[in-house]
Amino acid sequence: MNSKPEKFFNRELSWLDFNQRVLEEAKDPRNPPLERLKFLAITASNLDEFFMVRVGGLQLVRKAGKRQPDAAGLTPKMQLDAIQKRVRRMIGEQADCYKNELEPALANGGIQRIRPEALNGGQEQLLSRLFAEEIYPVITPVALQDGAMCPALQNLGLYMLVRLAAEPGGQEDRYAVLPLAQPLGRFIALPSEAGYAFIPVEDVIKKHLGRWFTGLTVLECAVFRVTRNADVAMREDEASDLLSGMASILEERRWSDCVRIEIEASASRAAQDFICRLLETDPANLFRIDGPLNLKDFMPLSRIEGFSALKEKEWYPQPSPQIDSHLPMFEQIAGNDLLLYHPYESFDPVVRLIEEAAEDPSVLAIKQVLYRTSSGSPIISALAEAAEAGKSVTALVELKARFDEERNIHWARRLEQAGVQVVYGVQGLKTHAKVCLIVRREPQGIVRYVHYGTGNYNDTTAKLYSDISFMSRDDDLGADASAFFNAVCGYSQPSGLSRIFMAPLGIRERLVELIDGEIERSQQGHKALIMLKMNSLVDEALIEKLYEASRAGVRIKLNVRGICCLRPGVPDLSKNITVTSIVGRYLEHARIFYFYRGGDEKVFISSADWMPRNLDRRVELMIPVEDGSGRRLIEIIKTHCADTVKSWTLLSDGAYVRTGTLPGKKKEINSQQFFHERACEAVRADAQTRRTTLRPHRPFGK
């Protein structure tokens, strides 16, 4: 498409705007200190991935000599320059937030970082012993020389650069590097009369640095960190073995080109220039950090036991009143479709469904897509158990799930050893759909049970990400799930789908039809409304279609957590479109698409965001949800669109402002808190009902 900068925001800068909104949660004094520390760690982790993937990709494009501007009119060089400027401001805010706000606030609350000069006798004694026994024997310095081969500095590893005085009669200073990775971890707990005291390992190493360089003059030392390009792709048509091919990609990623160097702000110009020469990178890729490097290492500290005054009150996933823990999951799904909203409602019923299927002698087959899973996944264990029990089990394991490739390779091998038929997806496409199909023999014949979701089968992130689970015994949804697995596991085309829609062959087309329907009704003078909740909105063709709908008078409410390239509120283009983004204690991850359709409301859940990669280069699903579950989804999306506490509104100039500060926004609505309290109230109401009457349910098998 032609570049139209007046219509689109740049996706990379939009992503940085999202990370800024996360950073604002870290800076917000209304949040407790440990909650703020968590958000600060998240911003650092986000930036790591951004540089590894997005900046790394842009640098490759620029090196290839490509100058084609994006939809916002920015060439690769212009984007990289804008990113550099934006990120430097962001890391300055990160450092200021930690040093001048969070570290003092934590110390006041009893969590204190001890400086080397403030150590007491007992603490000195402990550190001397730990250094002698567990640090000095492990860490070995490596001498560095200009022009010599650079030692293997691992991606995202922390290192200490040491500058030594020149040899007698020599002209040039000498350098050495020490890796900071060692058994004690980043922070060392210290004995303290009250609270929790700690010291970063780099401070301990600096204090004892002379032990490695006896007789030499240490001029300076500085912690630094290397980020390498992770935008490394594999030519599937050249890889005879996908498992070994992915393993080689992981190895290549560890030592790929340097895209960023972070170094302590105290480092001299000489040290900065040396490390850039050593890593053969442009000095523009060097970032001076006036504070601790790798702030994501503070995430475990944000979860420290105790210190409740420094934390948000814990929200626990609630058991859904729809589900009776004493009845089999199959019986309950047979009675009614079940819709769960995680993490407000527990993910346990999804795990239960698969575990019960593994043990149930009436279950003949289980088929499931695994994109990301937890490290100790009970679902993986259940699938292995089912295969070992003689059931037909098929697992589509997506090896190309970025940064989870190694874990997925491990799971794939374990499942294969248990007798699971492991499939690695469709060549050239990532399989990102979230679906599980269970085939069961019942008195009336073969019955299919399905779970469709917006999130991964990951019991850990299901406590942190907001996602939808939909479980059904609907014949059409079950038949569609069978057709889906036949298509992605075999050679057949995904034909004959009656209810669900599949990318890359159907979701985009169906979305256009639905938008066109709202346009037509609006042009006829009828009410027309679209509400969309997703993580990212990038696809230019669909943005253009939303602009067309806006010009036709369709009201459009977008709740987009992260990247949004659509420019809202522009006269004669998008004046009927509003865009909000929620950043709260849970990561908004559900995709919900709503269309008014003249009162015959249609609502869908999906695994797909509105991005070209999701709609054109991935295997995704979009599922209609009807009746009571559909009405509940409509309430969910309406409530999120009405949020005024944790919501930000995108203005036509690209700025995000807190929604609650806008004129006319009076009522305070915290949508995440609302759904948590609703889930708790439902449990209390259900308990009261159980005390007074038995819950009716549809007889199993009817």
Q: For residue 578, what is the domain's CATH number? A: 3.30.870.10
With a cut of 90, say whether residue 659 has pLDDT above it. Answer: yes
Task: Calculate mean pLDDT across residues 672-701.
Answer: 76
Confidence of residue 1 (pLDDT cuts 50, 70, 90): very low
| Alpha helices (runs of H) in 611-661, residue ranges in sequence order | 612-616, 627-641
Question: In this structure, what are the phi and psi dihedrals at residue 537, rounded to the nearest 5 degrees?
Answer: -125, 105
| Confidence (pLDDT) at 101 | 97
Distance between CA atoms of 77 and 396, rounded to whole angstroms?
39
| Confidence (pLDDT) at 245 | 42
Confidence of residue 148 (pLDDT cuts 50, 70, 90): low
Task: Calculate mean pLDDT across residues 95-103.
Answer: 97
Task: Calculate mean pLDDT across residues 431-446.
Answer: 96
Report the percentage of the chain scoring pLDDT > 90. 80
Contact yes or no for 83/12 (Cβ under 8 A): yes
Q: Are residues 345 and 369 in the same domain?
A: yes
Of 652, 665, 621, nearest to 480 by C-alpha is 621
Report the percentage of the chain scoring pLDDT > 70. 92
| Confidence (pLDDT) at 410 | 80
Q: Mind listing the pLDDT tens digit for each residue in 553-568?
A: 999 999 999 999 999 9
Task: Calculate mean pLDDT across residues 412-420.
Answer: 90
Task: Calculate mean pLDDT across residues 405-413.
Answer: 77
Distance between CA atoms of 356 and 618, rounded to whole angstroms?
31
The tokens for 461 are 């992130």
Q: Are residues 379 and 527 in the same domain?
A: no
Q: CA angle, 321 as apex, 316 and 326 as ends, to 5°?
A: 100
Say if 155 falls within a structural domain. Answer: yes
Say if 428 falls within a structural domain. Answer: yes
Q: In the chain, how many domains are there?
A: 3
Say if 678 falls within a structural domain. Answer: no
Q: Are residues 293 and 435 in the same domain?
A: no
User: Residues with Cβ < 8 Å from 4, sequence gap 6 or more?
Assistant: 71, 73
Task: Calculate mean pLDDT across residues 409-435.
Answer: 88
Say if 629 falls within a structural domain. Answer: yes
Q: Are residues 598 and 511 in the same domain?
A: yes
With a cut of 80, say whether residue 550 has pLDDT above it. Answer: yes
Confidence of residue 243 (pLDDT cuts 50, 70, 90): very low
For residue 631, how far is the Cα from the chain centroid?
Answer: 28
Say if 467 falls within a structural domain. Answer: yes
| Confidence (pLDDT) at 411 | 81
Task: Calculate mean pLDDT across residues 626-654.
Answer: 97
Say if 485 falls within a structural domain. Answer: yes
Q: Are residues 485 and 517 in the same domain?
A: no
| Confidence (pLDDT) at 401 | 53
Contact yes or no for 432/607 (Cβ under 8 A): yes
| Confidence (pLDDT) at 699 | 41
Amino acid 233 reads A
Question: In this structure, what are the phi and psi dihedrals at residue 549, rounded to the nearest 5 degrees?
Answer: -65, -40
Task: Calculate mean pLDDT across residues 495-508.
Answer: 92
Q: Tell the residue number behind the tokens 């968590």, with chain if given.
A: 38
Say if 87 falls within a structural domain. Answer: yes
Say if 379 falls within a structural domain. Answer: yes
The CATH number for 132's domain is 3.30.1840.10
Which of 455, 474, 498 is where one domain is finished? Answer: 498
Of 130, 223, 226, nearest to 177 by C-alpha is 223
| Confidence (pLDDT) at 700 | 38
Q: Are residues 558 and 594 in the same domain?
A: yes
CA distances from 310 to 31, 103, 552 (A): 9, 12, 50
Q: Is 432 an active-site residue? A: yes
Q: Are residues 597 and 553 in the same domain?
A: yes
Give me the domain span that covers residue 423: 329-498
Distance between CA atoms of 347 and 349, rounded to whole angstroms?
6
Which of 465, 498, 531 is where one domain is finished? Answer: 498
User: Residues with Cβ < 8 Å from 386, sequence gap 6 or more?
Assistant: 357, 358, 363, 366, 393
Q: Are residues 395 and 460 in the same domain?
A: yes
> Which of 432, 451, 589, 676 is labelled catalytic?
432
Q: Tell the residue number behind the tokens 């938008």, with chain if given.
A: 515
pLDDT, averaged across the chain: 91
| Confidence (pLDDT) at 491 | 63
Q: Are residues 90 and 207 in the same domain?
A: yes
Q: Which residue has the higher pLDDT, 402 or 606?
A: 606
Q: Are residues 210 and 102 in the same domain?
A: yes
- SS3 for 42? helix
Q: Mind listing the pLDDT tens digit for each residue in 392-407?
A: 999 998 876 565 567 7
Distance between CA atoms of 284 and 275, rounded to whole angstroms?
12
Q: How does DSSP assign 69-92, residue by residue? A: --TTS--HHHHHHHHHHHHHHHHH
Q: Are residues 441 and 520 in the same domain?
A: no
Q: Mind listing the pLDDT tens digit for each residue in 190-236?
A: 999 999 999 999 999 999 999 999 999 999 999 999 999 987 553 44
Which of 310, 344, 366 is where one domain is finished? Answer: 310
Q: Are residues 478 and 589 in the same domain?
A: no
Distance between CA atoms of 455 and 372, rounded to whole angstroms?
9
| Confidence (pLDDT) at 492 | 65
Partners of 438 in the β-ladder: 366, 449
For residue 8, how far is the Cα from the chain centroid?
Answer: 24
Q: Mind listing the pLDDT tens digit for each residue in 287-336?
A: 999 999 999 999 999 999 999 999 999 999 999 999 999 999 999 999 99
